[in-house]
Each structure stands twice: as C-alpha cells, then as structure tokens.
Chain A
C-alpha cells in the first residue's frame, strides 16, 4: 500500500526493470536507514521514444541480438511491462522491509521531471550510463551534505563494500559498480548523468 507525501522519500528512478533490479536493494536499504518512504519511478525518457522513430537507430537486446521492426508501440508496451514488474518488486521489497512505498510511471525529460518531483530532504537514486554491474564501492563526494555521511556508511556496512570519501571536489572516473553520494543540483543533473556511468544517490 502506498502512502505518498508522508515525510522524506527515497526516489528510485530507472529506465527499465534491469536497472530497478540492480538498484532496488540499495534504495530499500537507504529508505529503511532514513525512515523514508520508498518511491519507485519508471521513467520513459523522450530519447527512448525518439530512438524508435529515428530511422538509423538500432536496438540490441541484452543477449547481443539486433532487434528489427522497431516502433513506438512496441517500445511503449515494453515500458508498460517493466513498469508493472517494477511495481511488484517494489511493493514486495518495501513490505519485507516494513516501508511505506509508492510508484509512478512517467514520460518526458528526466531532469525536468525530477526537478519538479524532488522535495528538500528527498534522496534521488538514479543510474548514469547504459551498463549496470554488481555494486563494488560506496563513494562519498567531497562537500556532500552531512546527512549523507551516515547513510553512506550504513550502505557500505550493509552491502559489505568499501566506503571511499573524496577529499577533492569534482567528478572522478567512477565505474558502473560505484555508488556516489552527493548533493542534488537540478541545473547540473543532465550534465552529471551524461558525464558519469555510476549510480548516484543525490540529496535534494
């Protein structure tokens, strides 16, 4: 059962079910640690729709086979299917952890959507880059919000992964298995996602 709007939230934003599966344990742990509502967001990026329309675009499935006959309706159906599965996964995980939860399925530009959704104190969990791998490290950005420190430490402990604290401001080269805890800055989100390939935990 969802209870949107009750206190701080951990918003897990993904583009597909594979990303949700990879990141849900992290988001659930954060919500449990922070006592926050877990909110799932499956976002249909406008780029993905464009992908189905651009004649030269190609889609290769996870097994390495090129898909033919690409059209927006198939893409839409795939999103709907992933959304339903994501919601089931989310509800099960939240109930197991005794968390309040909500789910939404949205379209448009992610950066714009998050800017409108995120409220102060929310934690945004979202991936950058196309590849997801097992989590390998927790990284706490230099100058990150003080409230993020205990959450990063708890995540590192829970997942038995090392916690790395960055002392110098800026964006290091992080791999897909890294989780970077940092401040949410709406104007810079698009660039942040374009320039990095890790998982981000952003506190607004």
Chain B
C-alpha cells in the first residue's frame, strides 16, 4: 500500500480489497483440506491441554464470539483425544435385596453391563420355566406327599387308636358341624337319650368317666394337629428350598462362572441367589385369562413381569463390546437438572407414586463419565439447579441423583437413595466472553473447577500465509457441506468480506459461520446458473442479497434524507453546521447514517453546553468527548484570558440516545466554524474523535459511516466534491463496498484522511487553519486567528461587563 498523505483524497489502491489477493489456484478443489482452525492456536492449545491432561478440575471454558468455530473445534479436538483414551467402565444399578430403597451401583468392564443384564434375564426366563417344572415334577410331588402323608398318617393313627379305644369301651366318636362328639353307643348308633336316662346311676357315672377320659385324649389329639401342621410346613419349606436351590444354582451357574473374576457382581449374584431361593413362589404365579397374552408361555419374556423386576439389571451406561472404542464425547443440548444428573421416574400404582431401581435413568454426566461433556454455558446457568448440580458433582467426584422436588422438600412420597456413582470426566463449557467474566467475578467455585480457558480469537492477521490458510478453510467448508468448489475469484471476494467483517483491512475475521452462510447462498446461485464452481459474482451477489434483505431500515433512513425529512446538506456552505456520521446497529443490520451537528456561540462564563447531555440523551463517552472540546478550546486560544465563551452543541433531529466520541471532531469543527464565523463545506462529512491537543483519533464503523454518506450523496448525484474526512489512523480499516471504491476511482467521491483538527478545519472551510507566528499570534485571517479574536473579544466584553458600576454604587 502506498504512503498515506493526510489532507489528500485516497485512491482505491489505498484500500484493502479483493484485488489484493493473488491466489495461485483455479478453484479450492486443488487445495488440501484444512483440519485445523487458522488463527486459533491459543484456544486450540488450551483445548488440547484439557483433552489430554488427567488432572482433576482442569475443566475448560471455551469462550469467544459465536461463529468462530468454538463448537466444531471443541468437538473435533475432544473426539480425537477421546479416541486415544480407553473406554470407560459400564455402570449398572441392581437391587439391594435387604434394602430396596438403596440400589447398588456396580462398575463393569466395558461391554459387560449388557452381558450381565442379558445373563440375568436368561436366569429369570429359565427359572420361570424350570421352577414350575421342578415343583410339578413327580420327584417333588412324591417327596412332598411323603412329608404330608407322614404327618396325616400320624394324626390318623392317633385318631384311629382313639376311635378303637372308644369303640372297645362302648363309646362312639362322630363328626358334627360343631366338632367331634363323644357319646355312649348302642350297637352302631348313639345311645338314645331316654335310654341313657334310664340307666342306673353308677352305670351313668362309668359312662361319664369313660367319656371324660376319651374327651381328654381327643383334645390332646386335636391340639396336636396344629403342631403337626407347623412341623409339616417347615419340612415342606425345607423341601421347597432344597428343590429351588437346585434349580436356582443350575440357572445361575453360567452367570456365576462368567463373572467369577468380578467381586461386586459375584456378591450381587450371591444375594440374588438367596432371594431367588427364598422367593421361589414368585415363579409359581400363573397368569390366566386375558393377562396370559397371545403367546404361549414358552415364548414369553418372563423377565418383563412385574414380580421379576427385582432381579433386573438397570444398565445406566452400557457399551456394545464390538464397538466400544475410546472415551465418550457427550454434548447435552438441554442440560436440565434431570438431563444432567439423571432422574428417578415414578409410576402411579392405585393412586400412589411408586418407584424402583429399574426406574433410575442416566443423565449426561453418566453417559460422559470417563470422557468429555460439552455444555452450553448459558443453558446450564439458565436451567434451575443445573449449575449447582454440575458443580456439586465435580466437587464431590460422584453423581448423586435427586430431583428438584426432593431438593426443596416438596415430595413426601417414598423415594430411592441410590449409591452415588464415581465421576471422572472433563466438562467443557462453551459460552460467550461476558458470561465467562461474570462467572470468574461472582462464582468462587468457577475458578477452582474450571481452571482452563480456550479463548477463540475473532480475527487473524492478514498476510499471504493466512490468506492461503483461509482459502483452504473455505475449500474445506465447501467440501464438508457438499458445495461446489470455490473459484479463486470467489475466494478473493470472500477474503475481502472477511476483512470487512473484521472492520479491518489488515485482519481477517474468523467468523466462520458468516462466511459459511455466504458460501452456501453463493453455491445456491452458482447451482441456478449451472456453474461448476462458485465464482466471484456468485459471492458478490450473495453478499449483496444478504445486505438487501437486511437493508430495510437503512433504506428508510436514506429515504428520510432524500425526502428532506432529515435535513442533510450535501452541497453549499454554512456557518456552525457540519455533517457528522453515526452507525446504527439493530440485530444483524448495521449501517451508517449522516446527521447534522450545529453549534451556536456567544459571550459567557466559559460554559460549553452539550444539549444532548442536558436532555439526558447523551451517554457518558459522548459527554466526555464534549468536555475534551472545552479543554482544546481553552488551551488553544487566548490562554491568558478568562475563557468567556458560552456555546451550545446539538445533534439536529436526533431523538434517540447519542453515545461515543466519534463525533467530537465534527462538533469541534462546528464550534470553530461558529467562532470564526466561517462557513463549512456541506459536501463533506466528518468522523473522528479529538484529544485536547487537536489530534484526530480513530473511531469504529468507519466503513459503514463512509458508505452511509456516500449513499446519501449518490442519491442526490455525486459531484466529485463530496467526501468524508476520516482519521488517518482509520485508513487501514477501510474495506469499502465496490460501489464506493468505483466512485473514488472515478474521482466522483472522496475519502480524505486527516491527522489534526487544523487539517480538518482547513479542508472544511477552504481557509488555512493558521499557526502562531514568532509573536505568538495567529494570522488574523486564518481560522484560528478569527477564533482567537472572537474569544479575546468575548473576554474583553466580559471584563467590561464586570467593571460596570452597579446602580447602587452610581447612586452613592
């Protein structure tokens, strides 16, 4: 780029643009794909450290502007690191048979959780067939019958002996609805009552004694029945247990053998075995009628029946042994409390909420355990209790499952208290910078738990190497999205747009999302034109279309100027009035707009009235800029005299807030014009801030500001005199739209860099600013000379005004 001369219009060759890029390829198809993210070395270093280190608390916050590749880089780096790590253990919950409220957590080698689950399903399915078969078997029935018969025979024998004894003594034992009757017998029948009454008393006494004796014995025999039944039940129970044990051991043998080298599973299988034996009757429950289902029992999946849930294995984290490679990388897009730490589901059973260990559901922390968890910082912070739960889990190194209701004691129903699962993972939060700084400032845990930050830059220095990297990145993006290759012209236009997005001709913006959007739209246009590659015109058309879509407000603004609603002069000259420039940014729309700044002056006590501030429409930085003007005026003119100026400054027709100091140069020029009583050329607009020594300083949004005034002038017809004064330090930031560049090249529009206030006022008034001569006096006809003369005049007038005698003094 040529040396910049201040006070002289720039030519297009001074501006950054697509012409700057000499790319040595025809299309991006010739370029090697780029697997890295150019310009993000610092962030990638942090990402790789977080991914590779095993130290706890080296969790990572990825910060940066959206669209800079934070998510894709995070995903890729973590995926690469995860592939190098061993797969984490599988994790299951099983029933604690002696306390079902506290399910047991068990770790298993990768891929073995499903194996255990399936093995125990098979055990249950097998037992559901085998236990009924065992208890229906001839062997069991015979053994059980033998037990029952032995007791009934014993009882029968006792009753038989008693009946024989009764019969021998002329008594009968008969069965009645009220029990067993003992009475004297006559032949095969009971002695009739009338005959009994006729018996001699000693005979009746003998009968009575015999009956009482028999009754006592009968009582003993009958009282012995419950004892016998109890013993019989115990013996049958022993038999049942023995038979069930046989079946259970046979069914469990395979599972026991396969998990013999895993003590926690072995312990569980032992407890399960005891429970199966104790509750073998569960397998004897038969389903009848409609509940039996359409399939024969042999093909039913018995493990699904409610009574067998206690033997299930709830796989919280299970991997397919065939595919289990590397650690997991989990991205949870909805990090609610439940989605993060898991939840325990409820079911309604006859109006009561019930739960069991099979209703424990894993959260993202479970799924990512042993690997990486990617979360959106804003989402985590905005979900109730989620951030707190995440920190608790990281601090304690384990995942405890609870619900918001439990946390606030809102649930009174019985709940589960599962064993916490050990947690070791790397959490990666992706968020914006503001959130990062807020967390760092206000959450004391944040710095301890998230020791690393990956700060994604939003711009990259422009040079030949970085341009080629970006070209390769564009080619890679096109390839990844299935787009056409991009021709060199298209790439150059995209690179220029990247400079424009950075607001800097020497820096590429790393807003990959924005470039990707343009690329996809350009590809669509290239497709419509049946082109094989995305050309320069496709990219230009896509950019223009995007601007047009977002241009409604800009057009309305220009329309208001064109119709004279907003008063902006683009020719002629006027005292105390200058065209300033501002940038409006609403959503994705960002455009420049001219505005009129005016100044009025008179004698006063050294006060500069900022009307925007007085009306509470000016922000603090704007007010600061205006106060700097006071300093400049007071220090530059008539320093030996009291500052006796009253001046007012205002943005004409501005009804919203005014912020920033980029109009302070324009305000100063309006003031100087008013003080010098010299008109300002209205075909020029000004942007830039000033300091107290009169240097013009860089401002933001220079491209939009220049284009804003250009569009106003273009609407009225370019004269060749029109132009914008900008700080010379903003020249490297100029990446103007082709329409402006073309006009500059054709000499129909000017962009003039200035370094000092004197340069600016000279250009605006067409008169030399003037420097103090050896006598310390400005040339009288210079701008500065006229300003100082006016200020001296105000000071003298003020002095005279102060020396006038008051009416009372005159009278005295």
Binding site for B on A (CB under 8 A): 15-19, 45-48, 50-51, 53-67, 70, 74-75, 78-79, 81-82, 127, 129-131, 133-134, 136, 160, 175-177, 190-191, 194, 197
Q: Given A60-B218, A131-B159, A133-B152, do A78 and B177 touch, yes or no (CB 8 Å)?
A: yes
Stretch at the interface among B72-80, B184-192, B283-291, B514-522: B184-192
For residue B218, which residues in chain A have a CB less than 8 angstroms away from its CB?
60, 64
| Interface set, chain B 186-216, CB cutoff 8 A to A | 188-193, 196-197, 204, 207-208, 211-212, 215
For residue B197, which residues in chain A have a CB less than 8 angstroms away from its CB?
55
B36 adjacent to chain A (CB < 8 Å): no
CB atoms of A131 and B155 under 8 A apart = yes
CB atoms of A66 and B177 under 8 A apart = no
For residue A48, which residues in chain B have a CB less than 8 angstroms away from its CB?
174, 176, 181
CB atoms of B177 and A176 under 8 A apart = no
CB atoms of B173 and A130 under 8 A apart = yes
B179 adjacent to chain A (CB < 8 Å): yes
Q: Given A60-B219, A130-B174, do A54 and B156 touch, yes or no (CB 8 Å)?
A: no
B804 adjacent to chain A (CB < 8 Å): no
CB atoms of B188 and A191 under 8 A apart = yes
Q: How far is the CA of A94 from the CA of B204 in the complex (A)?
A: 47
For residue B220, which residues in chain A have a CB less than 8 angstroms away from its CB?
64
CB atoms of A64 and B177 under 8 A apart = no
Ordered by A's residue number, 21 sampled pairs between the chains whose C-beta atoms are within 8 Å are A48-B174, A50-B192, A50-B193, A53-B193, A55-B196, A56-B184, A56-B211, A58-B182, A59-B180, A62-B179, A62-B180, A62-B222, A64-B219, A65-B219, A81-B177, A130-B173, A133-B152, A133-B153, A136-B145, A175-B160, A197-B160
Q: How many whole Å from B142's CB to the nearest CB in chain A?
A: 9
Most B CB atoms within 10 A — which of A48, A57, A78, A175?
A: A57
CB atoms of A51 and B141 under 8 A apart = no
Q: How far is the CA of A59 from the CA of B153 in the complex (A)?
A: 23
Mask: chain B, 135-175; 1 = CB below 8 Å from A; 0 = not: 00000010001001100110110011001000000001111
CB atoms of B219 and A51 under 8 A apart = no
Q: How many whole Å from A55's CB to the nearest CB in chain B?
A: 7
Q: How far is the CA of A64 from the CA of B179 in the complex (A)?
A: 9
B183 adjacent to chain A (CB < 8 Å): yes
CB atoms of A176 and B156 under 8 A apart = yes
Q: How many whole Å from B685's CB to the nearest CB in chain A?
A: 104
For residue A50, which residues in chain B have a CB less than 8 angstroms away from its CB?
183, 189-193
CB atoms of B222 and A16 under 8 A apart = no
CB atoms of A74 and B178 under 8 A apart = yes
Compute the total of residue contacts between A and B using a CB distance below 8 Å.
Answer: 149
CB atoms of B184 and A130 under 8 A apart = no
For residue B223, which residues in chain A have a CB less than 8 angstroms away from its CB?
63-64
Q: How far is the CA of A63 from the CA of B220 in the complex (A)?
A: 10
Extra 7 A-B pairs, beta carbons < 8 Å, given A46-B189, A60-B222, A177-B149:
A54-B196, A59-B180, A61-B222, A62-B180, A136-B149, A176-B159, A197-B163
For residue B180, which residues in chain A have a CB less than 8 angstroms away from its CB?
59-62, 130
Binding site for A on B (CB under 8 A): 141, 145, 148-149, 152-153, 155-156, 159-160, 163, 172-184, 188-193, 196-197, 204, 207-208, 211-212, 215, 218-223, 225-226
Most A CB atoms within 10 A — which of B192, B193, B208?
A: B193
CB atoms of A67 and B196 under 8 A apart = no
For residue A54, which residues in chain B have a CB less than 8 angstroms away from its CB?
183-184, 190-191, 193, 196
CB atoms of A51 and B190 under 8 A apart = yes
Q: How many whole Å from A22's CB to the nearest CB in chain B?
A: 11
CB atoms of B196 and A56 under 8 A apart = yes
Q: Given A56-B183, A57-B182, do A51 and B196 touch, yes or no (CB 8 Å)?
A: no
Q: How many whole Å from A40's CB to the nearest CB in chain B?
A: 15
Q: How many whole Å from B88's CB to the nearest CB in chain A?
A: 56
CB atoms of B174 and A47 under 8 A apart = yes
Q: How far is the CA of A124 from the CA of B176 in the complex (A)?
A: 20
CB atoms of A47 and B190 under 8 A apart = yes
For residue B179, which residues in chain A have a CB less than 8 angstroms away from its CB?
59-62, 67
Q: How far is the CA of A60 from the CA of B160 in the complex (A)?
A: 16
Q: Given A16-B176, A16-B177, A78-B176, do A134 and B148 touch, yes or no (CB 8 Å)?
A: yes
Q: How many whole Å from A195's CB to the nearest CB in chain B?
A: 9
CB atoms of B156 and A175 under 8 A apart = yes
CB atoms of A57 and B163 under 8 A apart = no
Q: How many whole Å from A122's CB to the nearest CB in chain B?
A: 23
Q: Given A47-B172, A64-B219, A194-B188, do A82 and B177 touch, yes or no (CB 8 Å)?
A: yes
For residue A78, which residues in chain B have a CB less than 8 angstroms away from its CB?
176-178
For residue B188, which residues in chain A have a CB less than 8 angstroms away from its CB?
190-191, 194
For residue A51, which residues in chain B have a CB less than 8 angstroms away from its CB?
174, 176, 181, 183, 190
CB atoms of B190 and A17 under 8 A apart = no
CB atoms of B177 and A60 under 8 A apart = no
Q: How far is the CA of A81 from the CA of B178 in the complex (A)?
A: 10
Q: How far is the CA of A64 from the CA of B227 in the complex (A)?
A: 12
Q: How far is the CA of A188 from the CA of B494 in the complex (A)?
A: 121
CB atoms of A66 and B156 under 8 A apart = no
Q: Given A57-B182, A59-B179, A60-B179, do A134 and B152 touch, yes or no (CB 8 Å)?
A: yes
Q: How far is the CA of A97 from the CA of B141 in the complex (A)?
A: 25
For residue B156, which residues in chain A have a CB less than 8 angstroms away from its CB?
131, 133, 175-177, 197
CB atoms of A63 and B196 under 8 A apart = no
Q: What 8 pairs across the A-B complex have the smallest Cβ distances? A: A64-B222, A64-B223, A78-B177, A57-B183, A53-B193, A61-B179, A47-B190, A133-B152
Which residue of chain B is the closest to A197 with respect to CB atoms?
B160
Q: How many whole Å from A12's CB to the nearest CB in chain B?
A: 15
Most A CB atoms within 10 A — which of B175, B184, B218?
A: B175
Q: How many whole Å from A130's CB to the nearest CB in chain B?
A: 5
CB atoms of B178 and A75 under 8 A apart = yes
For residue A55, which residues in chain B have a CB less than 8 angstroms away from its CB?
193, 196-197, 204
Q: How far is the CA of A139 from the CA of B205 in the complex (A)?
A: 43
Q: How far is the CA of A19 from the CA of B177 in the complex (A)?
A: 9
For residue A74, which residues in chain B have a CB less than 8 angstroms away from its CB?
178
Q: How many whole Å from A121's CB to the nearest CB in chain B?
A: 28
Q: How far is the CA of A190 from the CA of B187 in the complex (A)?
A: 11
Q: How far is the CA of A127 from the CA of B219 in the complex (A)?
A: 22
Q: How far is the CA of A67 from the CA of B222 in the complex (A)?
A: 14
For residue A46, which residues in chain B have a CB less than 8 angstroms away from its CB?
189-190
CB atoms of A15 and B176 under 8 A apart = yes
Q: How far is the CA of A47 from the CA of B184 in the complex (A)?
A: 11
For residue A53, which residues in chain B have a CB less than 8 angstroms away from its CB?
193
Which residue of chain B is the closest to A56 with respect to CB atoms?
B208
Which residue of chain A is the closest to B182 with respect to CB atoms?
A58
Q: How many whole Å from A198's CB to the nearest CB in chain B?
A: 10
For residue B204, which residues in chain A have a CB less than 8 angstroms away from its CB?
55-56
Q: How many whole Å from A73's CB to the nearest CB in chain B?
A: 12
For residue A67, which residues in chain B have a CB less than 8 angstroms away from its CB?
178-179
Q: How far is the CA of A42 from the CA of B212 in the complex (A)?
A: 29
